[in-house]
């Protein structure tokens, strides 16, 4: 499991299973009844959280830049002029050098 999957399990799946056990939910006695619908609301909350959003953007950024600290690179992009050349703010992968402005890059990573 990667870090995001582990966090999802610990913050969404595990607490929901514990609550289901406390409530005596029949899906736990017959696991054939257990489905993703049991976790849908908590999963939506998790996926729409600011922390999860940031992690997804930073992960997407890794496909475009060559930086040791992607979190710091993401923060620099967020405060930069959207029309500035992205390569002036972060170290872009060579084939992408001088191709995108900050606004374009932020759009591509989902920010």
Domain count for the chain, please give it.
2
CA 7 to chain CA centroid, Å, is: 11
Tokens of 12: 């969404």
Q: Does residue 68 sit in the same domain as residue 100? A: yes
CA atoms of 65 and 84, how far apart (whole Å) = 16
Task: Say which residue the tokens 């009844």 belong to.
Answer: 33
Q: Is the dihedral of CA 57, 100, 107, 50 positive or negative?
A: positive
Q: Does residue 8 sit in the same domain as residue 42? A: yes
25 located within any domain: yes
CA atoms of 63 and 41, how far apart (whole Å) = 30
Q: What is the pLDDT of residues 28-74, one digit of tens each?
A: 777 777 777 878 887 777 766 667 778 888 889 998 988 888 889 99
53 located within any domain: no
Q: Does residue 42 sit in the same domain as residue 82? A: no
Could you list the residue range(s) of the whole structural domain that residue 19 is in?
A: 3-48
Instruction: Report the SS3 class of residue 33.
Output: helix
Q: What is the pLDDT of residues 87-98, one digit of tens each?
A: 899 988 888 888
pTM: 0.58
Q: Does residue 65 sit in the same domain as residue 103? A: yes
Q: Does residue 8 sit in the same domain as residue 44? A: yes
């Amino acid at each position: 499991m990667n870090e995001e999957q582990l966090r999802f399990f610990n913050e969404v799946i595990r607490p929901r299973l514990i609550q289901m056990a406390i409530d005596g939910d029949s899906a736990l006695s017959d696991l054939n009844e257990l489905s993703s619908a049991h976790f849908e609301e908590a999963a939506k909350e998790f996926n729409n959280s600011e922390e999860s959003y940031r992690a997804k953007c930073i992960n997407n950024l890794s496909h475009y830049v060559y930086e040791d600290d992607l979190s710091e690179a993401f923060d620099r992009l967020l405060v930069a002029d959207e029309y500035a050349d992205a390569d002036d703010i972060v170290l872009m992968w060579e084939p992408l050098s001088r191709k995108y402005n900050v606004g374009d890059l932020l759009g591509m990573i989902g920010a």
